[in-house]
Structure 1
Amino acid sequence: MAKDEEATNVQVQEVPKKTWRRHVWDTLDKPREERHLLFKLDVALLGLGCLGYFTKYLSQANLTNAFVSGMKEDLGMFGNELNYAQTAFTVGYILGEVPANIILTRVRPSIFIPTLQIIWTLLTFCLAATKTTTQLYVLRFFLGLFEAGYYPGLNWMIGSWYRKDEMAKRAGILNASGSAAQLFSGFLMTGVINLGGRGGLPGWKWLFVMDGVISFPIAVISFFYLPDLPETGSNKKIFKKEEIELAQHRMVLEERKPRAAFTKAKVINVLTSWPLYLLPLYYICMSATGGTPIFPQYLKYHKDPTYTVAQINLYPSGQYAIQVVSALAYAWASDTFLRGRRWEVLLFGSVLNVIFWSSLAAWDISEGWKWVCYYLQAQHVGLSGIIFTWANEICTDDTEKRAIVLATTNSMVSMVNAWLPLIVWQQVDAPKYHKGFITATAMGAACLIIIPAMKFLQDRDEKR
């Protein structure tokens, strides 16, 4: 009887009247107990998650910075060695994502995720000791393998703790932290390059040392303060017993199912469900460039005026600022003004993609509009948080399927990006990537079909 009364006390809470403050931040209009829970959760899960994702992307972005700052000459990378190093990372990343998210459903996240961080931090330190390209390839492969589970794993954690009106903002902030790392990496290289020669290390090796120095304390703190799952009732040093019960009840209200055993029926259900195929297909079509530096190449080959090396490196950094702004704008619009409708934001971003890519495919456009297209096409990166939020909602009835779909969605993009640039974004076509721009336009148009199809199937499933 006491337990029933306790459960009732958790469920019956006075809900304040909704005001304009919820558009600023959703917790401002929530009951006091719920605000306290979400504050702790935002610091422990979102705060540590963003710091970890920042360091993860910093390590990825700094390979190119190191290459142009002495690594090329020191390791004799005068052929396609940089491409091989990037491919080695991609292969490890593809192989690691789905297994990592499956493991995450069985192992405490507060142990598994920080362990990944510690391992990739040690591997980053090892990059500062590389003397051959073979060592570089091996280290990059294992970096990809152990970094693979972080982003889809954190999105799975967000879906395990937050409600519908809260998820997109958190996923958007997480996504923006990766773009912020890319924006910051160039400034870090500028500062670290002056350490060249100290301790017998060139400047590019100091870059990886600093990456590790930044990553290590975040990984250690995560062992103590990163939450597990509401259903396990762990992390009592962070949350009170009443807060854990409230978190569990919030997930009941969202109809978000707890973990269950992997059975034959579950595996068949996952493999035959449409989210496993349509969500990755949309994400592939959205990410059409495959990371090709199309804007820097445009600046490099521009003749009137001719841009300096500093300008070629500086001007494209504005794209990362666009990514940060779009990630936050799309997240707030989806959670607040559109009341949790994800497909409308995705459709809007896809329409912009078609406009910008088709304009670049035409090529004979004004210089000003060409710059607008190069900058604003970066807005598609801001949609990542929305698609992972929608995946969490679509798969709310099966947490294992949710983990697999999230990881598959992210890994399939890496798989396609490993070979698509070799066909349509060839270096010899720079800066007029006609095949690439046409392909990106067609893939953007495909998104306009895939998004309504997913919305139709989601509505059908909910009616059932």
Structure 2
Amino acid sequence: MAQSPLLETNSHNAGDTKNRKSNWRRLVWDSWDKPPEERKLILKMDLTLMTFGCLSTFIKYLDKSNLQSAFVSGMKEDMSLYGNEMNYATTAYAVASIIGLWPCNLTLTRVNPRWFIPFLEIGWTILTFCQSAMTKATHMYVLRALVAIFETGHFSAVIYLCGAWYQKKELARRVAIINITTAIGPMFSSYLQAAAYNGLNGAHGRAGWRWLFIIDGIISLGIIIPQVLFYPDVPARQKPDRLFSEREIELARDRNPKEGRVKQGEFTMKQVKRWFFTLDIWLLWLISFCNDICQQPMNSMSYWFKAWNTIKPGSYTVAQINNYTTPIQAVIVILTIIMAWSSDTFLQGRRWPALVFASTSAAIIFLSLASTPVFPTHRAGRWILYYLSGFCQASSSLFWAWTQDTLSGDPATRAFASAGLNVWAYVADATIPLGIFQTVDQPGVVAGNYGAAGFAILHSLTALTLAYVQHTRKQGEADTIEHSDDNDASDSQINKSGATVGTLAV
């Protein structure tokens, strides 16, 4: 029986209402419009992968950024660091990271992260305690290199796990939330250093900056323990445990079919060739390289406050130098959320628009920093420029998600490419600051700001190039499938015609 126009219209309106409601739910959080069983699974994934990813990344960046906080809070004077020692420490950290990154991430494709990731965290926590006893620059170089050996690959390992569990339109938001802690960690480090300097400076014969390392280490220990009990493996290797049932594991595998049932065995020559001869990987690495350089100008703000004390003694206290820089990280948090939610929702999983927006905005800001006086009569304008200098860091979660999207279905290549994102970021850390962001030139790094603007433009062009390459490839694959379907249809028609003719002949 034909449906009446009125019923058809009502049905259509009801469907539209349901779709609008579903779209609004998905816009806020992607699991809210899923079936109950799937929603429960995603909740468990979020409670483990997201909670541990955020906490462990938080302590990593808390421990990683405490050197900068300590430097402007008395360590410079106590250890006589009046040259480029901070640059050399950064280079030592970066070189050690580069050496360890690929072995670390490729190891994760073969071992259980429940043991591997906490092992790394225990290592860098012990070394964080050791940094409280530094007395000279050599100690700083050695300890920063050792810290890097344990910290290397941690973030890329966490994102690698997320890429195995989450779907494409769920990933950028999760990576962004984890990435937010890379901003919250330094922010918290600044507040901790201010509190340690004011409340503990001189306690038990230790300077306030030394207490910062001790407090950071204590915080880190409390975060590590739960991970040994609940950290999940990738779905292909995950076994039923106290958290995930067999049915939930199967659902997780079905939700991400390219990765869900792929177990990485021995590395093959075909994979190794793909590691080094895939254009997409090199373009993603170039984006990461540029992105890291574009994060350098924001570091100048603490030096800027400290330099004002030379021009006009007493301009800023140690606590103010630490606290007044933290809104940079707050702005990064807001921008990260906006760009990631946009990518996963109305941009339909596309990563390049937000990346181009971020790096173009950054280029404008860096050019403004480079072309205006470092110590102007009115400080507000430059103050605001520093606060807005984190656009590229805010967009970094998108090229991490883009890497997982692009290489889904090949765990070793995905792990290798993810580690490479950090390798090339550390290459930038180890080289570029020594040339155009030297400590002795801070905060007047005019060449550095112009250079960062140039790399921001290259960042935009590379993202556009990768988007074009992938769009062209996808269009070519679609045309091939369509052509194949047309041939199949023609063959079918010929067979049918032949059968008819044969029947008539009989």
CA–CA distance in structure 2, aligned partners of residues 311 and 321 of structure 1: 16
Which residue does the alignment assign to 1:338?
A: 347
Per-residue deviation at 1:115?
Answer: 0.8
Q: Note if contact 1:260-1:400 (Cα within 8 Å) is conserved in structure 2.
A: no
* Secondary structure of 1:377's aligned partner: coil
Residue matched to 2:492: none
Deviation string 1:311-344 (CA, Å, 9 cap, x unpaired) is 4433322111111111111111111121211111
Change (3 A) 1:149 1:76: same
1:82 to 71, 83, 86: 86
CA distance 1:76–1:444, change in 2 (3 Å): closer
Within 5 A, what are the aligned runs for 1:55-454? 55-193=59-197, 194-234=199-239, 236-252=241-257, 257-289=262-294, 291-292=296-297, 293-301=299-307, 307-309=315-317, 310-363=319-372, 369-427=381-439, 429-454=441-466
Distance 1:201 1:300, change over 3 A: closer
CA distance in 2, matches of 1:439, 1:41: 41
Q: Which amino acid aligns with 1:448?
A: S
**Separation of aligned partners in 2, 1:443 and 1:139:** 31
Count of residues in Structure 1 that have an aligned counterpart in Structure 2: 449
Tell me whether 406-415 or 362-371 shows the greater mean CA deviation. 362-371
Counterpart for residue 480 of structure 2? none
Helix, strand or coil at the partner of 2:415: helix
**Residues 305 and 327 of structure 1: is their aligned pair in 2 closer, same or farther, counting only changes over 3 Å?**
farther
Gap change, CA 1:78 and 1:345, over 3 Å in 2: closer
TM-score, normalising length: structure 2: 0.82
Greater Cα offset, 45-54 or 286-295: 286-295
State the Cα distance separating 1:253 from its structure 2 match: 6.5
Question: Contact 1:270 / 1:401 at 8 angstroms: preserved in 2?
Answer: yes
Distance 2:331 2:222 in 1: 29
Instruction: Determine the structure 2 residue equivalent to 1:13.
Output: none
2:164–2:259: 8 Å Cα contact kept in structure 1?
Answer: no
Distance 1:449 1:72, change over 3 A: closer
Assess, with a 3 A threshold, how the Cα gap between structure 1 residues 288 and 127 changes in structure 2: closer, same or farther: closer
Q: 1:65 to 1:449 in 2, by over 3 A?
A: closer
Of 305-314 and 453-462, more deviation after overlay is shown by 305-314
**Hey, which bits of structure 1, 4+ residues long, moved more than 6 A?**
253-256, 303-306, 364-367
TM-superposed CA distance for 1:68, in Å, is 3.7
Give the direction of change, closer, same or farther, for the CA distance of 1:200–1:426 in structure 2 (3 Å limit): closer
Contact in 1 for aligned 2:169/2:344 (Cα 8 Å): yes
Superimposed CA distance per residue, residues 271-306 of structure 1 (whole angstroms, 9 cap, x where no aligned partner): 101133111111222232463522334445566999
Task: State the percentage of identical aligned residues.
Answer: 37
Q: Is there any run of 5+ residues in structure 2 with no aligned partner, and where?
A: 1-17, 478-506
Distance 1:63 1:191 in 2: 16
After TM superposition, give the deviation of residue 457 of structure 1 in Å: 1.9
Per the TM alignment, residue 254 of structure 1 is displaced from its structure 2 partner at its CA by 7.4
Distance 1:89 1:180 in 2: 21
User: Aligned-pair distance for 1:210?
Assistant: 1.4
> Could you give the per-residue CA deviations for residues 109-161 of structure 1, whole angstroms, max 9, x where no partner exists?
11111110111111112223445543332221110111011111111111010
Q: TM-score, normalised by structure 1?
A: 0.89
Work out the CA distance in 2 between the residues paired with 1:217 and 1:41: 21
Code of the aligned partner of 1:295: M
Distance 2:400 2:41 in 1: 23
The AA in structure 1 aligned to 2:94 is T
8 Å contact kept, 2:50–2:178:
yes
Q: CA deviation at 1:227?
A: 0.9
Q: CA, structure 1 residues 425+208, in 2 after alignment: closer, same or farther (shift >3 Å)?
A: closer
**For 2:193 and 2:85, how far apart are their aligned partners in 1?**
21
Distance 1:235 1:357, change over 3 A: farther
What is the CA-CA distance between 1:222 and the residue it aligns to? 0.8
* RMSD of equivalent CA atoms: 2.6
Contact 1:90 1:414 in 2 (8 A): yes
Q: CA deviation at 1:218?
A: 1.5
Contact 1:164-1:340 at 8 Å conserved across structures:
yes
- Per the alignment, residue 468 of structure 2 pairs with 456
Q: Which residue does 2:495 correspond to in 1?
A: none
